[in-house]
Structure 1
Amino acid sequence: MSTTFTIPSRCDLCPRRCGADRAAGRAGYCGAAGTLKVARAALHFWEEPCISGTRGSGTVFFSGCALRCCYCQNYPISAQAFGKEITVERLAEIFLDLQAQGAHNINLVTPGQWQPWIMAALDQARAAGLHLPIVCNTGGYETVESVARWAGYIDIWLADLKYISPALAADLSAAPDYPAAAKAAIEAMLAQAGRPVFDGEGILQRGVILRHLAIPGHTDDSFRVLDQMAAWNDAAPGCFLPSLMSQFTPFYQAADHGIGRRITTYEYRRVVNYAMDKGLTTGYMQQKSSAREEYTPSFDLTGV
């Protein structure tokens, strides 16, 4: 089965709206050009328990990223273009293979720059029997239009809210518009997905998980992020699951931006206590032991 889809000739898939002619093979700001590129596809056991469960999340890591996070743990694929070019047909096969391995869901990591290709692959895979929930694992830097196009394809949004400060977003992710873009996109995700729905095993079938990675030296901005999360939760209690992460590891260019260390127990505990004081008590909080490099997968084209 072959599927036709439109490759952007003036790309506006992300908030950068860089206008790259990807149909002509030109790469956008994200590093993605006209041929789908994937770095890894395998069962992943280190997401939130309601995503990984007991059998693992069928995770596909896509090459490229619209952000430029100086501390990215996946920087070989996000910033250095590591990956293998594959067809839409091959991606559909990968989805079905992960389902056959027993995955609880299909987990698309940083998929936004490949949206038309992935939708075509999901159409093919569903026609061939794919029935798992689809997770969009995103840094939160999305357009409202892109979120709307995912309707009918994405069941679960696993989204970051990284910063509230435009200056911090500019410094650490080269995206001063991140706070405004992420707020609008997340509100669209919440409206689209609805309240969390679980199956009999406690595995999430539909809904939103909002993640925040606590960054060393920037707990004040974490408090502001939690203020925003609390505002959403106060307006519609239980509309998402919060997930506070302590796993910051000074990868890539973190030291060049003044964050060349792990977060301290004291810093993370302040963030956790603030979240609980704000009523964000039904969700996930990591142990400090999560800030270890072995939790980062090896990008070796597994499963591709």
Structure 2
Amino acid sequence: MMELLVNCKLCPRNCAINRLNNELGFCKSGKNIKLAKVSLHAWEEPCISGSNGSGTIFFSNCNMRCVFCQNHNISEEGFGKEITIERLSEIFIEQQNRGAHNINLVSPTHYVPQIIEALKIAKTHGLTIPVLYNSNGYENIETLKALNGYIDVYLPDLKYFNDKYAVRYSNTPNYFSYASNSIKEMFKQVGKPEFDKNGIIKKGVIIRHLMLPGLLFDSKKIIDFIYKTFKNNVYISIMNQYTPMFNAYKYPEINKSLNLKHYDSLIKYCLSLGITNAFIQGEGTCTTEFTPDFNLSGI
């Protein structure tokens, strides 16, 4: 798998640089894995966090440039610690031993070859809990195909429908085209959701959509795509937790909290379509309180 880093085209940026020689492309990732935090996370969707927590592993760097990113110190500013593939495999086992319901790979796209190698090792040492791929959705199909059989649950974002927003707020051209096709591949691999006796997801796709201020129409177009394509064979997680952070102050139209009436309107729209498999959020989520403290813990 590591040969994929010689001419890196893991994501739609297709930088074609040699990361084994530590050349850096758009995501600024070299040959080594870089992590910012390992933890048991209690604030994911209920079927992911459960009672024990989700075994989150936060990878540093990113192939997007969201102006409002709450994790900007690791996604854009490079905070983190480099580790080996062998150490990552140990972390997988340590998370399982802590009682995590799953391994939750957060922003993993640019480290897929290393992750696959680490999973191979961990499975020979007794890794049995589900593996989640927690992604921004900006993926290449060929990279996802390499993950087939290693990932049990896909947790992609579907951020934008209209490309003008993807470019303005995330510097990510053709986002919907790539993300929508990627989610189809994810569903092809893992199929309909399955849960254990305690309601913890074992297999399936949960599509996350974070509503942004003023983009109700764009959000409705995303919901239309999801329901038309998958009906109720996937779960949708519709989030109202947008908090203007990082460089959001440069964009007055999103430098504010979400209008909760718009959020309620989107929920009613989902119900009108016949959507039943969805997670929604209550009030009080627009806060920095839920932003992880990236302190290299567990690494």
TM-score, with structure 1 as normaliser: 0.96
2:274 aligned residue: 279
SS of the residue corresponding to residue 29 of structure 2 reads: coil
* Stretch moving more, 51-60 or 18-27: 18-27
Moved over 2 A (4+): 4-7
1:247 aligned residue: 241
SS of the residue corresponding to residue 224 of structure 1 reads: helix
2:119 aligned residue: 122
2:176 aligned residue: 179
Q: Quick one: distance in 1 between partners of 2:13 and 2:38?
A: 27
Which stretches in structure 2 are left out of the alignment for 5+ residues?
none
> Post-superposition shift, 1:271?
1.6
1:108 aligned residue: 105
The 8 Å contact of residues 192 and 234 in structure 2, kept in 1 or not, is answered as: yes
2:151 aligned residue: 154
Which stretches in structure 1 are left out of the alignment for 5+ residues?
none
Letter in 2 for 1:70: V
Letter in 2 for 1:178: Y
2:61 pairs with 1:64? yes
RMSD: 1.1
The 8 Å contact of residues 192 and 204 in structure 2, kept in 1 or not, is answered as: yes
2:198 pairs with 1:201? yes
> Post-superposition shift, 1:7?
5.5
Q: Quick one: distance in 1 between partners of 2:274 and 2:211?
A: 18
Letter in 1 for 2:17: A
> Post-superposition shift, 1:162?
0.6
Q: Quick one: distance in 2 between partners of 1:147 and 1:279?
A: 30
| 1:166-192 per-position Cα deviation (integer Å, ceiling 9, x unaligned) | 111100111121010001101111111
| 1:266-286 per-position Cα deviation (integer Å, ceiling 9, x unaligned) | 121112111222222222001
Letter in 2 for 1:219: L
Aligned residue pair count: 298
The 8 Å contact of residues 244 and 284 in structure 1, kept in 2 or not, is answered as: yes
Candidates 271, 283, 287, aligned match of 1:288: 283
| 1:31-74 per-position Cα deviation (integer Å, ceiling 9, x unaligned) | 11121100001100111000000000000000111111111111
Q: Quick one: distance in 2 between partners of 1:145 and 1:229?
A: 22
Q: Quick one: distance in 2 between partners of 1:263 and 1:295?
A: 16
* Stretch moving more, 278-287 or 215-224: 278-287
SS of the residue corresponding to residue 188 of structure 1 reads: helix
TM-score, with structure 2 as normaliser: 0.97
SS of the residue corresponding to residue 136 of structure 1 reads: strand
Q: Quick one: distance in 2 between partners of 1:7 and 1:33?
A: 12
Q: Among the aligned pairs, what percent are the same residue?
A: 41
> Post-superposition shift, 1:127?
0.6
SS of the residue corresponding to residue 65 of structure 2 reads: coil
The 8 Å contact of residues 226 and 278 in structure 1, kept in 2 or not, is answered as: no
Q: Quick one: distance in 2 between partners of 1:96 and 1:148?
A: 24
SS of the residue corresponding to residue 170 of structure 1 reads: helix
1:192 aligned residue: 189
